[in-house]
Structure 1
């Protein structure tokens, strides 16, 4: 059933991306990025995302997601202490309004995507207590208030 759900999400992603009526820079972009993050999750033992991250609800009401009141775009993403296991997809870089990203104390692994350098508004980043490997996206290294 999990594979069927993932296939459905990929089909939904294809439909939304290919639709000419969708503006590339809107909440749909954020929703697709979050769905991509969720599709990479290998383990969600407490079912935080399974129960909350539903396409039937606005992403602004999903667990760990806070949107700005002005633009209704994802500004804060806090997935800390959820015991999630996954690889971070490049689509995470699509959060162009993201100010805070907290992924601490999970089981994230693999390389950090280079697309994370697109976070031009980012002020807070906590990646501590995970198992990331590989090269660190260079632009992120210029910030001093980040925890790795």
Structure 2
């Protein structure tokens, strides 16, 4: 047991390195806080604390960091994020017009942004060419559309 306590610092360094490597992949600051908890455990071990106390110090520090430090850091990091939707998410709610009859199986629409999409409707109806539409959702390369009401124009 004495040999384990004598070389516990190696275990702490390995654990910290693993947490930091996982954090680089995830980017959610959870494993960074766990790694910093490991730094506190390592520090207590270097100050002569027994192994059981090192683990308690590391766990307490990690929990405190997760509860008190991580949430404000995440808010600060995400404060400048672009709130607008992009890619296919930006197409939901966009209006357009039917160019080829749209049924539950096939059809084409032209959106106001100039894009032409394969389209479908839900249910047993069809939309004739020149019918105004709104995009409900995008699934793969197909837009699911519905007729646009006059107040949406």
Q: Which has the higher helix share?
A: 2
Q: TM-score, normalised by structure 1?
A: 0.32
Q: TM-score, normalised by structure 2?
A: 0.32
Select the structure with the greater relative contact order (CA < 8 A; seq sep ≥ 6). Answer: 1
